Amino acid sequence: MNEAYLMKPNMYLIFGLIIVVFISGCTQKSSEQLDDITNNISVVAVEQSSIISENSNTTQIQNPEVQGRRDQKLEGQSRRLLEIGIDCTHENTYGTRNSLAIDKKNLNILYIGVEGRGIYKSIDQGKTWKKSIKGLVAYPDMNNKVEMCFPDIAAIYIDSEDNQKLLMVTSDITSAYIDWPYGETGGIWESLDGGESWRQMIKGNINVAGSGNLAIDPKNNKIMYYPVNPDIPTFEEAPIKESLNKKGSVYKTTDGGISWEELKMPMLPSLQAVVIAIDPENSNHLLFFTQSHDHIYGESSITEVFLHQQHGILESFDGGKTWVAIGDTLPDPYRTLFDGDVSKNNFKHIIVRPFLFGDEFPPETTQQKSFFSTDGGKKFEQTSAFIWTGRYDPHDTEGKHLLGYAPWQGWVVESKDAGKTWGSISSPEEVSSYKVKISNFVWDPINPNLVYMSGDYANIWQSFDGGKTWINILNMEKLPK
């Protein structure tokens, strides 16, 4: 079936590295090994005089003996990180995830997060950029102590009512509380001044190892869902050696982040919600795209293990109180989801991208596939090309038009039938080099022909003709210091 889309050997190394990006918390057990694999776990204070964030001492452990052991170990690890730093270049693709955001009240204002480098803002539609990092926490780059190594910035959200209020979520750090080493870089960061400064929103005993997204109720922005990585904390000094999540791997707030509830759900090993979608017509109707994996713990390394038991998609009709798994509508083993999207104009239209990895799936014979549904997940069909990133056009009222990134099939592709068939429309030079993968497409809220595309190595492209031609407006060379 579709042999043209088999995993090609010269691409396997690239996509093997991508697995590290999408599976959070898989770091070395030994603190001596952490520097080599936690390049995505950014952090030291940006302002060196304020290394610890203002909310860094909110977690309380009731047992005084445990508290004392925790303080001694964690303070020692913090000192080590502040002195030595972390490796910010090891396998770092300087990804942008889904962090590209457009201010709907001022379409000239753009925000982007770059793995390892921080947040950037443009006020002239991408012609010039300014760094926006005041208040964020980052460790020094051990290879260049004058540079800070920022976390994997997974997504940025602009408040629909107040465009000065921003939320940012990080990803790919070990499970931790906010006052632990490594954990102090995670969580949800808030800006009340259009990105001029940032502060940590999370307080208390909440796992801050985000899985890459935050869902905000379009009818009530005080209601949010925050998915996390529920793995066991992996750094040696962690005072808790079991999962910080007892009920589920998603937190919910109904008061704008003042308090959070851990939602109960059918758990699987390392269950992560990689995408959360809220039905615009019914805020109690939720879809969680999930993946689960196991681990083999070595003396100084952790190996991720593919699992056939998967939920695929969890669905709720009561705001997360109860869940039903609908992933069995996807064929085994294509239920381990790493990306996808749901049309905001037709909530029955879904695209998902599983990913097969590990020794069970050798690259020479493994066929990667993506799937679409037009009935809310009751039935899935394979897309005509393997779509690594697919996004629905918000201007298409029927929810049938998508843009996508298809490795080995024209690169930037387009679908006009809800994801069934795809055709090539363009191929920017940087994408065709096999080095840069595309992680997101974002449409201008007013102009349907103005589209932005973002990917690895701080790349952003701009198209004024719906994706037929592209102009590069940001890359590593253009990033301001």
Residues near 480 by beta carbon (within 8 Å), at least 6 away in sequence: 120, 129, 130, 131
- Report the largest interatomic distance among the alpha carbons of the chain, rounded to a whole angstrom: 64
For 13-56, the DSSP string reads: HHHHHHHHHHSTT---SSGGGHHHH-TTS--SBSSTT--S-TTT
C-alpha 435/C-alpha 114 separation (Å) is 16
pLDDT at residue number 410: 82
- Report the pLDDT value the prediction gives residue 88, as an integer from 0 to 100: 87
Tell me, what's the pLDDT at 19?
40
DSSP 184: G
- Which positions ≥6 away from 79 have C-beta within 8 Å? none
CB proximity list for 344: less than 8 A, separation 6 or greater: 280, 392, 394, 399
pLDDT 10s digit of each residue in the chain, 481 long? 333 323 333 333 333 333 433 333 333 333 333 233 233 323 333 333 233 233 332 222 233 333 444 567 788 887 888 788 888 886 789 999 999 999 999 999 999 999 999 999 999 999 999 999 999 999 999 988 888 999 999 999 999 999 999 999 999 889 999 989 989 899 999 999 999 999 999 998 999 999 999 999 999 999 999 999 999 998 888 889 999 999 999 999 999 999 999 999 999 999 999 999 999 999 999 999 999 999 888 877 788 899 999 999 999 999 999 999 998 999 999 999 999 999 999 999 999 999 999 999 998 899 999 999 999 999 999 999 999 999 999 999 999 999 999 988 889 999 999 999 999 998 888 887 778 999 999 999 999 999 999 999 999 999 999 999 999 999 999 999 8
> pLDDT at position 297, please?
82
Rounded to two decimals, what is the model's pTM?
0.86
CA angle 213, 138, 86 (to 5 degrees): 105
Question: Do you find a cis peptide bond into 333, omega within 30 degrees of 0?
Answer: yes
- For residue 303, count other CB atoms closer than 10 A to its CB: 12
| Local structure of residue 249 (DSSP, 8 states) | S
CA-nearest of 358, 357, 346, 415 to 381 is 415
**CA angle, 113 as apex, 109 and 116 as ends, to 5°?**
150
Sheet with 337-342, edge to edge strand ranges: 337-342, 350-354, 371-373, 381-382
| pLDDT recorded at residue 169 | 98
Interatomic CA distance for residues 294 and 288, integer angstroms = 19
Query: Cβ–Cβ contacts within 10 Å for residue 10, how many?
Result: 8
Tell me what pLDDT residue 302 has.
Answer: 82
Q: What is the structure's pLDDT at 62?
A: 33
In sequence order, the β-bridge partners of residue 166 are 158, 191
pLDDT value at residue 433: 73
Give pLDDT, residue 83: 83
Q: What are phi and psi of 171, to 5 degrees?
A: -150, 170
